[in-house]
Amino acid sequence: MMPLDDETLIADNRGFATIGPSSSLEGVLDGQDINGILKLTFAKGEDAKTIDFKVSKQPGDNYRIAAHFDEDFVKSFRNDDTQNDGDKIIDNNSNQPLTNGISEVLTVWRFLHLELDTMIGPALATPIAADDDRFILPRIPDVSIVDSYLDDSYIVSKILGDSIDTSDNALFDYHTTDAEASSTLPFHPCFEKRDFDKNLDEFWFVYLLSVFQGGTGDDYDPDGSGWELGYNPPLAGRDNSCILIYQENIRDLAANSNIVVASGLFGFELEQATVIHELGHPLINQGGVDHATGLIMNDGWPEVFVDTNGNNMFDAGEPVNPIPTRFADTALNFIRSGDRPGS
C-alpha cells in the first residue's frame, strides 16, 4: 500500500514527534543533538543498546533509522522527496541509497475505537405506520466492511466493550429529527453512554447508534418522499463523533422492489455503505468539504447511486451506479491529518 504523501515537500509526515526540547516531523531519538543524531558509546563486550524513538500520532507517517560509526558520514544522510528519495535514505556524497545499517520502514497505524449501540424497539401497544417494521430494533449498526475502507488511511477499527448490553440501549423514539439529534439536552441519544467523552487525540473514538427513522420529511413514507439513512449530528461544545443509523429508513428503502430486482442492492448493503459514509464525516471533519471529496462521501447519498433518474421512485430498469468501494484520495489525506474524529 503506497502512502498518500505530498512528494513536493522535503519532509511530508503530517505529525510532529516530541521528546523534551526536540520536535521533528522525522521522529525523535531520545537524547539526539540539534542535527538529529544520537551518539552511543558501547563498553567492551557490549553489542546492543535500547533507545527510545518517538513517532507522531498521525496514521501513515513513515520513519527509518540509519546508523554508522562515522559521524561525518551520518551527517551526509538525506531523505528528500523533492529529489525522489521516497522511503530510501540517501548518501548525499554518492547520491546512492544506503544498503547497510538501516532499519525497515516503520509506519504509524491508529486504532479507531467504535462503540455500537441501539434504540430499543417500540412496545407492541405503540402505534406505528402500517409499512413500518416494529421489529427492526434492537439492531447493532453493521460495521463489517469498515476496515476495508479505512485500510488506505492506515487505520484499523476496534469495537469496544459489551456493545449489545441492553442496559445501554437508548429509549425508543419514533421520529428522530435533525434538531433532536443535535440537541444537548440530557435525553440526547448520543449522550446515553458516559464514555462518549473519551474521544481524545491519543484515543480515537466514534459512537454509532441505531435509531428507528428520521423526521417525518425524511422517513421515506410514503414511497417517493425524502429520506435520511444516517446522520452525524453537530454537537455544541463536544466533538461531533456520534453517528445515527436510521434502520427503518434503510429497510423501507430496500423494500422497494425496483431496487432489489433491478439493481441487486439489498438492505444490508445500504446499511453498510451508510455506516461508511457517516463515519467519513467525523474522520474527514471538513464541514461542507466532506461531500465534495466524492466517491462514498458524495452528497445526496444514496440517491446518486441508486436513483439516477432523480425522482425518488427507483423506476424499473433504472441505471444503477455501483457503490464506491473506497474513500477518495482527498478524503484519505484529510483523515490522515486530523487530530481526532469530529474535533
CATH code for position 240: 3.40.390
Helix (H) or strand (E) holding 330: helix 329-337
pLDDT score of 161? 67
Any idea which residue has 484520495 for its cell? 329
Whether pLDDT at 79 is above 80: yes
Whether pLDDT at 180 is above 70: yes
Residue 196's SS3 state is helix
Helix (H) or strand (E) holding 159: strand 155-159
Question: Average pLDDT in the 219-233 region?
Answer: 76
Question: Average pLDDT in the 157-174 region?
Answer: 71
Whether pLDDT at 162 is above 60: no
Answer yes or no: is 225 within a domain. yes
Question: Average pLDDT in the 207-212 region?
Answer: 91
Answer yes or no: is 224 within a domain. yes
pLDDT score of 319? 63
pLDDT score of 328? 94
**Peptide bond preceding 138: is omega within 30 degrees of 0, i.e. cis?**
yes
Residues 187 and 329 in one domain: yes
Indicate the number of domains in the chain: 2
- Which range has highest mean pLDDT (55-59, 286-290, 308-312)? 55-59
Whether pLDDT at 91 is above 60: yes
Residue 19's SS3 state is strand
Distance of CA 341 to the CA centre of its chain: 7
Any idea which residue has 523533492 for its cell? 82
* φ/ψ bin of 189: left (φ > 0), alpha (ψ from -120 to 50), beta (otherwise): alpha
Range of the domain at 303: 110-337
Residues 221 and 305 in one domain: yes
Answer yes or no: is 342 within a domain. no
Question: Average pLDDT in the 203-217 region?
Answer: 88
pLDDT score of 177? 81
Residues 233 and 289 in one domain: yes
In this prediction, what percent of the chain has a pLDDT beyond 90?
49
Q: Which of 227, 229, 202 is nearest to 217 (CA)?
A: 227
C-alpha 259/C-alpha 266 separation (Å) is: 8
pLDDT score of 287? 84
What distance, in Å, lies between the first and last C-alpha atoms of the chain? 27
* Averaged pLDDT score across all residues of the chain: 83
pLDDT score of 2? 45
Question: Average pLDDT in the 226-240 region?
Answer: 82
Question: Average pLDDT in the 158-163 region?
Answer: 72
- pLDDT band at 210; cut points 50, 70, 90: very high
Which residue among 108, 126, 142 closes a domain? 108
Whether pLDDT at 18 is above 80: yes
Residues 63 and 135 in one domain: no
Which residue among 54, 77, 108 closes a domain? 108
pLDDT score of 311? 62
Backbone angles phi, psi at 190, to 5 degrees: -75, -10
pLDDT score of 277? 94
- Kindly give the residue spans of alpha helices, DSSP state H, lying in 131-264: 146-150, 178-181, 247-254, 257-258
In this prediction, what percent of the chain has a pLDDT beyond 70?
79
SS (H, E, C) 56-111: CCCCCCEECCECCCCHHHHCCEECCHHHCCCCCCEECCCCEECCCCECCCEECCEE
- pLDDT band at 237; cut points 50, 70, 90: confident
Answer yes or no: is 343 within a domain. no
C-alpha 33/C-alpha 37 separation (Å) is: 5
pTM: 0.87
Whether pLDDT at 265 is above 80: no
105 vs 82, higher pLDDT:
105
Question: Average pLDDT in the 5-14 region?
Answer: 72
Question: Average pLDDT in the 90-119 region?
Answer: 93
Whether pLDDT at 256 is above 80: no
Cβ-proximal residues to 28 (8 Å cutoff; 6+ apart), any chain: 17, 18, 19, 22, 36, 53, 54
303 vs 330, higher pLDDT:
330
Residues 170 and 282 in one domain: yes
pLDDT score of 251? 87
Answer yes or no: is 234 within a domain. yes
Query: Measured between alpha carbons, how far is residue 33 from residues 21, 71, 77, 231 in Å?
Result: 10, 12, 15, 49
pLDDT score of 164? 46
319 vs 51, higher pLDDT:
51
Cβ-proximal residues to 122 (8 Å cutoff; 6+ apart), any chain: 128, 134, 137, 172, 174, 212
Residues 255 and 310 in one domain: yes
C-alpha 2/C-alpha 242 separation (Å) is: 30
